[in-house]
Amino acid sequence: MSLPDREISAILKKFGPEIETYLRTVGFFDITGQYGPTDILNARAMATYRKASLAKNREVWAALEKWLFPEMVDFGAAFIATYGLIKPPNVKEIATDYIKERGGFLIKRMAATDQKRLTAFIWQNSMKNERPLARRILKEPNLVSIVAGHRPETIIRTERGRAIRSGSQNIAIGAGAKEKMWVTAGDGRVRPSHKSLNGTTWSIEEDIPGEGQYPGEIAIGCRCHLQYGFEAKRANYANQPMSTLEELYS
């Protein structure tokens, strides 16, 4: 199953905070000479900006949610089939509980991040001439990434990774696993702190310092995963090869 990243990116662009509209609302382009933050941080306009951001987040989460549940279920079934687990837990119940408790966590935080980035940009550039800034503000990476760029895709990948790792751990616990071992992607993109964790073993429900219960629970864009000591019983899963599902880690 493939998540429609392009579809979600289009939603982000459509419903994302309209920075230029906000600036025009507060008269930013009408200011002559230098400006101070109080000239532009208008509470009513910022409330409109945040409302637009929240609308974007709801639309993105609605699109992701349609795919996340079946993806968790399918990955869970593949996990169980590949390792031949006996008396596994109900994967649909695991997926439902996860989405209810943790689903869309990063997406739901995007509105606050959007406002923080715009406010920080305005304060950091206070007392500068408005015209060069006006031409540059919509090209500012931290602001452009609110509605475009790699940020949305990174958040979507992280949400997916968290969901399937959480599901895998709960399935492993139900199947009687007592330990978990951290495994990195093994390439040059692995962050140094995760390289040091490669091959380390922890009790199944133990928090890994700085990382949580599983890779990606805290870190954004993590591609590491856990092994639980199960020996593979079959190479493929009837619906999708396990290797294909594991591409979610890469």
Give me the sign of the Cα torsion angle 211, 199, 194, 3.
negative
Q: Sorting pLDDT into bands at 50, 70 and 90, what band is 138? A: low
Residue 116 lies in a domain: yes
Residue 230 lies in a domain: no
Helix residue ranges per DSSP H, 26-127: 43-83, 91-101, 105-124
Both tokens assigned to 89: 């837990």
Residue 151 lies in a domain: yes
Residue 242: pLDDT over 50: no
Task: State how far the Cα of 127 lies from the Cα of 118, in Å rounded to an integer.
Answer: 16
Residue 99 lies in a domain: yes
Residue 63 lies in a domain: yes
CA proximity to 54, closest of 16, 20, 103, 26 = 16
Residue 250 confidence (pLDDT)? 41
Q: Mean pLDDT: which of 113-117, 198-202, 234-238, 242-246 is highest?
A: 198-202
Residue 185 confidence (pLDDT)? 87
199-214: average pLDDT: 94
Residues 89, 40 contacting (CB under 8 angstroms)? no
Both tokens assigned to 73: 């279920």
Task: State how far the Cα of 69 lies from the Cα of 157, in Å rounded to an integer.
Answer: 14
CA proximity to 74, closest of 101, 92, 100 = 92
Domain span including residue 90: 5-163+171-176
Helix residue ranges per DSSP H, the chain: 5-15, 19-25, 43-83, 91-101, 105-124, 130-136, 141-147, 151-174, 192-195, 242-245
Residue 66 lies in a domain: yes
